[in-house]
Amino acid sequence: MADNHTPIATSASVSGALSASTAAPVSGLVSAIVPARNEEEVIAVCVESLAAQPEINEVIVVNDQSTDRTAQIVRDIAARNPKVKLLETDGPPEGWVGKNHAVSVGAREAKGEWLLFTDADAEHLAGSTAQALAKAAETGAALVSFSPEQITQRWYERALIPFVYCRLAKVYSFEAVNDEKNPAAAANGQYLMIRRDRYETIGGHASLAGEILEDVALARLVKRGGSRIWFGSGRGVVRVRMYRSFAAMWEGWKKNLYRLMGGTPRSVLSELDASVPWMILLVLLVGIKVPWALFLCVLLLLARQLSYGADLVRNGYPFSFITYYLPGVALYVGVLLASYRAHAKGRVVWKGRQYEMEVPQASGK
């Protein structure tokens, strides 16, 4: 869904597609790969939490043209931890999304039997890699992904992020995704571990170089190729504070939400119909002239909040977040429409880069 450590290894300029013939030989257990672009606030926690996992034999940070202290922080950690390596890129080639190119660079250098792709803002709790490997062994999955525990601190984070994830849970249920007979496929790029041989078979990130929603696209390729995937809650495994400002939060969901919710104008209309409390709005309008209708409006709103509270609890959020229900609806509608408009224009912006996208069709399921 849903983005981002020596000896110090430096690649001055790396580009192009990866292939099995150019991949490093398989050895060790897990290689963690972290794309990083201006992540000085969070990169140290991520890298050190990965390096502390016994099953991870190397942590490869790919510095994607950062202009802050990201690279220096990684170098400092690498100086005292031989697991950590730093790679540099000169930015994505034509047709590539920056993150996809960065992780492909890391995958080419990795030596592990499993590749763990994770974002720079993720904190990996003790035993997380062991749990992922155990889940792979238990289910026979070639791809294991956790939806991280979301840390929310500001009111706008608590309003929008839980609301989005509750909606996503209805579109990408764990049960459907994990059913090998069901075509539904999804993963969360904040924690996505894939067997190296399977990654190479599907062409790695080169096969989805221009995909904004690369985690879901990768999961679809794996499942359509006949391999099992497992997707589940990352509570107690990995946690993330996705955004540290309202502007970053808005830009992030504006980039992804339209495609996450179906990627067609019709799917946007369907999502608006399902998520907006239209009956409450209608009764509120009636209440302007019929005062008793306002009492009914309050009852309907309370019922809707309680229903939302049940969704929150099912998805690992505090029930008390029901107080953010109305702001959540308003922000969700706003960013969903903004995401549609961005894709309709064929352009999305992320971390200072503009990407040209396929314009949505006027009709579709």
What pLDDT sits at residue 23? 36
Q: How confident is the model at residue 286 (pLDDT cuts 50, 70, 90)?
A: low
User: What is the reported pLDDT for 50?
Assistant: 98
- For residue 193, report the phi and psi dihedrals to the nearest 5 degrees: -115, 125
Contact 338, 348 (CB under 8 A): no
pLDDT at 62: 97
pLDDT band at residue 330 under the 50/70/90 scheme = very high
pLDDT at 296 (0 to 100): 72
Q: What is the pLDDT of residue 305?
A: 87
Q: Which of the pair, 24 or 298, is modelled with greater confidence?
A: 298
Residue 3 vs residue 142, higher pLDDT: 142
pLDDT tens for each residue of 261-274: 988 899 999 999 99
CA 16/CA 104 separation, integer angstroms: 9
Contact (Cβ atoms closer than 8 angstroms) between residue 251 and residue 3: no
- Across residues 329-349, what is the average pLDDT? 91
The confidence score (pLDDT) of residue 288 equals 65
**Would you say residue 136 has pLDDT above 70?**
yes
Q: Are 305 and 313 within 8 A, CB to CB?
A: no
HSE of 83 in the Cβ direction (CA atoms, 13 Å)? 20
User: Which pLDDT band holds residue 32 (cuts at 50, 70, 90)?
Assistant: very high
Cβ-based neighbours of 307, under 8 Å, separated by 6 or more = none
Cβ(152)–Cβ(241) below 8 Å: yes
Q: What pLDDT sits at residue 344?
A: 87
Which range among 23-32, 34-43, 107-116, 144-153 shows the weakest confidence by mean pLDDT? 23-32
Determine contact, residues 130/283, Cβ cutoff 8 Å: no
Per-residue model confidence as pLDDT tens digits over 224-239:
999 999 999 999 999 9
pLDDT of amino acid 277 = 85
Q: What is the pLDDT of residues 99-110, one digit of tens each?
A: 999 999 999 999
Task: Work out the mean pLDDT of the chain and round it to a whole number.
Answer: 87
Detail the DSSP E strand segments found in the chain. Answer: 30-36, 56-64, 84-89, 114-118, 122-124, 143-150, 191-195, 229-240, 347-350, 353-356
Q: What is the C-alpha to C-alpha distance for residues 3 and 215, in angstroms, rounded to an integer?
A: 10
> Once rounded to an integer, what is the mean pLDDT over residues 72-85?
97
- Residues 153 and 157: their CA atoms lie apart, in Å, by 6
pTM of this prediction?
Answer: 0.84
The arithmetic mean of pLDDT across residues 275-290, rounded, is 71
Q: Is 201 left (phi over 0), alpha (psi -120 to 50) or beta?
A: alpha
Q: How confident is the model at residue 357 (pLDDT cuts 50, 70, 90)?
A: low
Q: How confident is the model at residue 278 (pLDDT cuts 50, 70, 90)?
A: confident
